[in-house]
Amino acid sequence: MESIRKTIGHLRKDELLKNGTIMFISGIIAGFFNYIYQVYMGRALGPEDYGVFGALFAIFYMIGIISQTLGTSTTQFVSKFVGEGKEISSFIKGCLKRTILFGSAISIIFLIFSSALMKVLKLSDIIPILILILILALSWINPIMDGTLRGMKRFSSLSFVTISNTGSKMVIGIVLVMAGFGVSGALFGVAAGTIVGLLISFGFLKEKLRSNNNDSVFRYSKFYSYSLPVMFAMIGISIPSNLDVIMANYFFSPIEAGLYMSVSVLGKIIFFFSAAVGTVMFPMITEKCTQGQNSKGILKKSILYAIFLSGSLVSLFVFYPRILVTIFGDKYFNAISMVAPYVMAMFFFSITTIFISYHLAIRNNRYIAFFSAFSIIEIALLLKFHSSMDEMINVLLIGNLAFLVISIIYTFKNYPLERIHSKKIGFVGGIE
């Protein structure tokens, strides 16, 4: 009993476990809302329209992951400032001004090429494209707010924002589709959820945004130089979980694309489960590096937690693939055989993202460059081997497993985790 009490006491003091549990619970709630949203859209829109919606949603998700470059960079610097006891108000406001301008420019570029995008996605109505452009404009602001909360380790606030975002998306999206707005209504639900999340985030950070305390002048060249390798990492992350959906919509029939989209929804659930661990791990690694402490233990625990969380769900999908039909309906029966290999591919990749987050936190740009090169290879393989949906999934399965093995060997065998953890240098890959 004494041993059990000590173990429980140790677990209660485990910051990674405590905050990871908060993010995991919020992830389950947000995942439930996303589940209801996606399932309803799959049933209400049917395979053909659901395939179109899936391609548009994948574009948003890919750009959203790339925009997380800003969120990750914000978390990195906020965590560093917090560790050093510095004020962050001017930094946050400076980031917001710059990202609003950048997001507006990106939206204008998409508007210019909207006609070409309609042809690629075989759309006859421009309204879904316009709604997508609105979502993309908002998606560059949101990461700054989330990244700040994450860097301050305000995970309860971040969880509330996430739940509010997904809950609003679900309710508004379903209401609009029921009202007959189809794909446009489903997408506008995403925009509405993002706006709700932003308003709540501004509320949580209003004191920081109102403050005029300039602790120091920040050179944003540091922010940009760190954001570049992060951007390559985020682009690489977006490929295994999104590009294949767009390619399926382009290479296969509308019905086949809808079937593929339904399987990818299950795969993304695996990915989101491990993301809760990575979200908590990143600022903890950064702060320890800033303070000159070893972060090896945090990495190991993060991997174990991610394997446990994602692996339990993978087991359900592998041993009961008919859950796809249970969720989406009999129209998706022909996609059952793709469930097991696809969720395994996403499981391998979800564990790899823990390594990606670790190397980003310690600024090991060599690993990020290696990962980016691997992503390019995977794109090439998907473009070459797409004669069937099964062939595309096999490319993802083999490729993701190979890179996970390589990441494990590189990190634990060939890469000294204890190197350069001093406050003066702080991060692998460059002196501050």
Three-state DSSP class for 373?
Answer: helix
Phi, psi (5° rounding) for residue 430?
170, 145
| Residue closest to 237 by CA, chosen among 69, 52, 411 | 69
Range of the domain at 52: 15-414
Per-residue confidence (pLDDT) for residue 426, from 0 to 100: 41
Three-state DSSP class for 208?
Answer: helix
CA 83 to CA 218: how far, in whole Å? Answer: 16
CA 286 to CA 275: how far, in whole Å? Answer: 17
Intervals of the chain under pLDDT 50: 11, 417-432
CA 125 to CA 401: how far, in whole Å? Answer: 40
58 located within any domain = yes
284 located within any domain = yes
79 located within any domain = yes
- Kindly provide the b/e burial profile for residues 119-152, where b requires at least 16 CB atoms within 10 angstroms of the residue's own CB: eebebeeeebbebbbbbbbbbbbbbbbbbbbbbb
Per-residue confidence (pLDDT) for residue 19, from 0 to 100: 76
131 located within any domain = yes
CA 382 to CA 235: how far, in whole Å? Answer: 16
Per-residue confidence (pLDDT) for residue 4, from 0 to 100: 52
Q: Which two tokens stand for residue 248?
A: 């399926």
299 located within any domain = yes
334 located within any domain = yes
Angle, CA of 87, 93 and 95, to the nearest 5° = 105
| Global confidence as pTM | 0.66
Question: How many structural domains are present in the chain?
Answer: 1
431 located within any domain = no
213 located within any domain = yes
Residues across the chain? 432
CA 88 to CA 381: how far, in whole Å? Answer: 44
Residue type, 110: F
